RNA sequence: GGCGAGAUUCCCGAGUGGCCAAAGGGAGCAGACUGUAAAUCUGCCGGGCUACGCCCUACGGUGGUUCGAAUCCACCUCUCGCCA
């Protein structure tokens, strides 16, 4: 089979690479033919969020390069909880919760990767971790680990201050064991992950060498923060979820459109599959033109997560709401009975009903700040009424701040 | 197991009997300026409501002292440090 550009080069030029066990060896491995490589995903929530998008995209590129991605959703390790980079002990999840999370996350990854067609694999490490026998594990696997060495890792040092339970201390052994299992079962030779996973990844390559005498490799991605120093994927309303029920494609699109200018270039490389020539030319845009780059970023990111149709709708809706182009039907819209506006409807109730604010109290704060509009009319008081006079040809635009808009349509 | 220190709102961090929904900073939201950007300045910033007032919930947990407790007492839980 013919391979295009080396996957390693792709990672490098798109900004995915932080550390690698052996650049030359990995390049060679990838050059030689299709390779299985894996990344572990934490099943601690019902949905993945924008913070886990970097590893997901790394697998997307891997699949596109003709290799075989393996997504390990840690049903087994999830029972323990990775202490890396955490300052406090993780809450342990029940098996049932993990099961539900696992199914949801696998379905979500399935939007990015081709599990159905067999180009990518999704596996649950509970398969080999749950049956483990303690004594056998200690004897066969545990003997390869040096406590002295583990204690010297930066990942554990932090926790040495705060306290680290024995359960968590064992996490690294299990992740290394995952790698070993994947090496044996699927010939997996490469593990990738966030840079906080470095220690765990290297532990896996060591274990494979000791147990199998085999050579495996690891590489890590930089841990992303936005230009303002925030963790990726957080907004006022919470995480930027990849699940359409938890965050609509329209809002997802808006999230990417509103990123800081300084992040656009980097994000285009990481979160789209646009060719690098295009990424570079978009990144070169200056001033107000940066918005064109953001449009591309938002569209591509939304397309990958929610599909072409949803992305188009999100874009058209956003255009309609903010620039008068696009299609009004694709922006958030609520249809109301004409009758209720004859006598008038209280603004605060209206804003709550269409979901622009979460409660009347929130509405009151918005009004006090001067951030609410019905059409061109600024709302200052929660007792104001919205009547037929506020509608133009049966429609009215509600605004909450500069970035949230909602369309009302009269019926009857 | 012993001794010492500690647990405050999304995060950091003040607060030692009423003036405490709790200083200050960060984050966030809103306004002005802009490009649905940044920086800057201004306002908001536990929640709800029949809203210039009322009602819930909150300073690790439980109980107590008091007219009144984040603040005092007792016990418990967890964390950190030293010792075993």
Distance A162 CA to B4 C1' (A): 17
Q: Last residue of a domain, which of A327, A354, A375? A: A327
Residue range of the domain that includes A337: 333-411
CATH number at residue A302: 1.10.240.10
What end-to-end distance do the CA atoms of chain A give, in Å? Answer: 62
- Same-domain pairing of A240 and A287: yes
Q: What angle do CA A100, A104, A109 make, to 5 degrees?
A: 145
Examine the pLDDT at A217 and tell me if it is beyond 70: yes
Residues A382 and A306 in one domain: no
Q: In what order do the strands lie in the sheet with A19-20?
A: A19-20, A217-221, A190-194, A36-41, A68-73, A121-124
Average pLDDT, chain A: 87
Q: Name the nucleotide nearest A88; use CA and C1'.
A: B79
- Give me the interface pTM, i.e. the ipTM: 0.82
With a CB cutoff of 8 Å and minimum separation 6, the contacts of A361 are none
**What pLDDT, on the 0 to 100 scale, is given for residue A160?**
60
Q: Are both A176 and A65 inside the same structural domain? A: yes
Chain B positions with a protein C-beta closer than 7 Å: 27-32, 34-39, 43-45, 47-51, 78-81
Burial level of A234, CB count in 10 A (0-12/13-18/19+)? middle
Chain-centre distance of CA A180, in angstroms?
27
Q: Say yes or no: A18 and A97 in one domain.
A: yes
Give the lowest-confidence range in A141-155, A157-171, A283-297.
A157-171
Q: A102-157, pLDDT tens digit by residue?
A: 888 999 999 999 999 999 999 999 899 889 998 899 899 999 988 878 877 766 66
Lowest mean pLDDT among A85-94, A127-136, A296-305: A85-94
How many CB atoms are located within 10 Å of the residue A147 CB?
A: 9
Element (H, E) at A353: helix A347-353
Residues A123 and A92 in one domain: yes
Q: Which pLDDT belongs to residue A57?
A: 95
φ and ψ at residue A238, rounded to 5 degrees = 115, -160
Q: Regarding beta strands A333-337 and A377-378, do their DSSP bridges make them parallel or antiparallel, or are they unpaired?
A: unpaired
DSSP state for residue A328 in the 8-state scheme = G
pLDDT band for A2, please (50, 70, 90 cuts). very low
pLDDT, tens digit (0-9, with 9 covering 90-100), for A261-274 = 988 999 999 999 99
User: Can you give the pTM of this predicted structure?
Assistant: 0.88
Which carries the bigger pLDDT value, residue A232 or residue A175? A175
Chain A residues 313-352, Cβ below 7 A from strand B: 318-319, 321-323, 348, 352
Of A68, A73, A185, give the one whose Cα is nearest residue A115. Answer: A68
| Residues of chain A (210-239) having a beta carbon less than 7 angstroms from strand B | 227-230, 235-236
Does the residue A269 lie in any domain? yes
- Judgement on whether residues A211 and A292 belong to the same structural domain of the protein: no
Domains of chain A: total: 3
Residue A229 above 60 pLDDT?
no
pLDDT for the residue A87: 44
Residue A340 lies in a domain: yes
Judge if A137 and A151 occupy the same domain: yes
Evaluate whether residue A1 is within a structural domain.
no
Cβ-Cβ contacts under 8 Å for A238 (sequence gap 6 or more): none
Are residues A355 and A388 part of one domain? yes
H helix or E strand, kind and range, residue A112: helix A95-112
| Cα–Cα distances in angstroms (integers) from residue A19 to residues A12, A196, A217, A371, A401, in the given order | 10, 11, 11, 46, 42
Task: Scan residues 350-369 of chain A and list those with Cβ within 7 Å of strand B.
Answer: 352, 358-366, 368-369
Do A179 and A107 reside in the same domain of the chain? Answer: yes
Indicate if A307 and A347 belong to the same structural domain. no
Confidence of residue A234 (pLDDT cuts 50, 70, 90): low
Residue A296 maps to a domain = yes
Share of chain A above pLDDT 90, in %: 56
State whether A288 and A378 are in the same domain.
Answer: no
Q: Which nucleotide is nearest to A263 (CA to C1')?
A: B37
Domain termination residue (choose one: A221, A246, A280):
A221
CA of A376 to C1' of B2 (A): 72
Question: Smallest Cα–C1' distance to nucleotide B32: which residue has it?
Answer: A370
Q: Widest CA span of chain A, in angstroms?
A: 81
Q: Are residues A41 and A70 in the same domain?
A: yes
**Under 8 Å between Cβ of A247 and A240:** yes
Instruction: State yes or no: pLDDT of A90 exceeds 50.
Output: no
Chosen domain end from A298, A327, A356: A327
Classify residue A230: in a domain, yes or no: no
């Amino acid at each position: 089979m013919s391979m295009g550009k080396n996957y390693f080069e792709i990672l490098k030029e798109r900004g995915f690479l932080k550390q690698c066990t052996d650049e030359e060896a990995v390049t060679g491995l990838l050059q030689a033919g299709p390779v299985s490589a894996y990344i572990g995903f934490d099943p601690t929530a019902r949905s993945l969020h924008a913070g886990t998008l970097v590893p997901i995209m790394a697998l997307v590129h891997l699949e596109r390069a003709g290799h075989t991605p393996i997504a390990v959703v840690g049903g087994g390790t999830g029972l323990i909880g990775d202490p890396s980079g955490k300052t406090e002990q993780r809450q342990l999840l029940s098996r049932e919760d993990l099961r539900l999370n696992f199914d949801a996350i696998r379905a979500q990854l399935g939007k990015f990767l081709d599990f159905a067609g067999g180009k990518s694999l999704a596996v649950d490490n509970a398969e080999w971790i749950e049956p483990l026998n303690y004594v056998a594990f200690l004897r066969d696997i545990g003997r390869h680990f040096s406590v002295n060495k583990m204690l010297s890792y930066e990942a554990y040092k932090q926790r040495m201050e705060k306290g680290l339970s024995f359960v968590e201390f064992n996490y690294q052994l299990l992740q290394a064991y995952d790698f070993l299992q994947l090496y044996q079962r699927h010939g997996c030779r490469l593990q990738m992950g966030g840079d906080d996973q470095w220690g765990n990844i290297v532990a896996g390559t060591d274990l494979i060498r000791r147990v199998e005498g085999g050579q495996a490799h690891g590489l890590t991605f930089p841990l992303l923060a936005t230009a303002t120093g925030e963790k990726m994927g957080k907004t006022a309303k919470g995480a930027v979820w990849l699940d359409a029920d938890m965050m609509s494609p329209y809002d997802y699109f808006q999230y990417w459109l509103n990123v800081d200018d300084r992040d656009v270039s980097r994000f285009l490389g990481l979160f789209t599959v646009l060719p690098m020539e295009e990424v570079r030319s978009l990144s070169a845009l200056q001033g107000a033109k940066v918005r064109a780059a953001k449009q591309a970023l938002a569209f591509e990111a939304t397309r990958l997560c929610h599909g072409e149709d949803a992305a188009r709708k999100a874009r058209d809706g956003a255009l309609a709401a903010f620039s008068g182009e696009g299609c009004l039907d694709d922006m958030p819209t609520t249809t109301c009975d004409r009758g209720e506006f004859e006598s008038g409807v209280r603004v605060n109730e209206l804003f709550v009903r269409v979901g622009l604010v979460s409660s009347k109290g929130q509405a009151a704060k918005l009004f006090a700040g001067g951030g609410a509009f019905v059409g061109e009319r600024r709302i200052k008081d929660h007792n104001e009424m919205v009547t037929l006079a506020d509608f133009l040809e049966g429609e009215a635009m509600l605004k909450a701040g500069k970035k949230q808009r909602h369309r009302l349509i009269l019926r009857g």
